[in-house]
């Protein structure tokens, strides 16, 4: 029963509002949280990217739902990069260059948000136009701040 409650709490945290500021008992909890949210974000993004790139059949409803979920999730992990949470695949540059990191995170949020707006139209062409800049913003952040 305790395991079920913990699992439900973890899922609620992942599905929670971007306005919620999670707290972490340990630095490892913060690392796990940010890795889990970014992984789920990447999975949703990839689903849309595969459709845009012709690697998967286009389904407008799936693209819309996946892009919307990616746009929700990309807002969540940044709270887990606080002082003392160094580690995982995160580069030490995150803590040394906070302004640059925050700017890269904001750019990625904005571009993935634009992808969600494009997907809401149901137009594959709109998705194709938005997927490149969204992917480039994620890659730029990874290149600068991921080991």
Distance CA 67, CA 104 (A): 19
146 three-state secondary structure:
strand
| pLDDT at res. 75 | 97
Residue 51 CB-density burial (10 A; 0-12 exposed, 13-18 middle, 19+ buried): buried
Distance CA 91, CA 78 (A): 14
Instruction: Check the CA dihedral 55-61-62-63 and report its sign.
Output: positive
Residue 122 structure tokens = 């149901």
Section 19-24 average pLDDT: 73
Residue 79 structure tokens = 């709270």
Q: What are 79-131's pLDDT values in tens digits?
A: 999 999 999 999 999 999 999 999 999 999 999 999 999 999 999 999 999 99
Specify the DSSP class assigned to residue 97.
-
Q: For a pLDDT cut of 90, what percent of the chain falls above it? A: 84
């Amino acid at each position: 029963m305790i395991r079920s409650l913990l699992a439900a709490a973890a899922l609620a945290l992942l599905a929670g509002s971007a306005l919620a500021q999670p707290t972490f008992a340990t630095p490892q909890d913060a690392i796990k949280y940010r890795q889990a949210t970014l992984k789920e974000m990447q999975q949703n993004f990839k689903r849309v990217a595969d459709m845009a790139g012709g690697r998967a059949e286009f389904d407008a409803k799936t693209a819309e739902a996946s892009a919307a979920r990616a746009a929700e999730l990309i807002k969540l992990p940044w709270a887990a990069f606080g002082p003392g949470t160094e580690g995982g695949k995160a580069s030490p540059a995150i803590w040394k260059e906070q302004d640059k990191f925050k700017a890269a995170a904001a750019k990625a949020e904005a571009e993935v948000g634009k992808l969600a707006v494009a997907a809401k139209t149901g137009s594959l062409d709109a998705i194709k136009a938005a997927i490149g800049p969204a992917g480039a913003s994620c890659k730029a952040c990874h290149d600068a701040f991921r080991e």
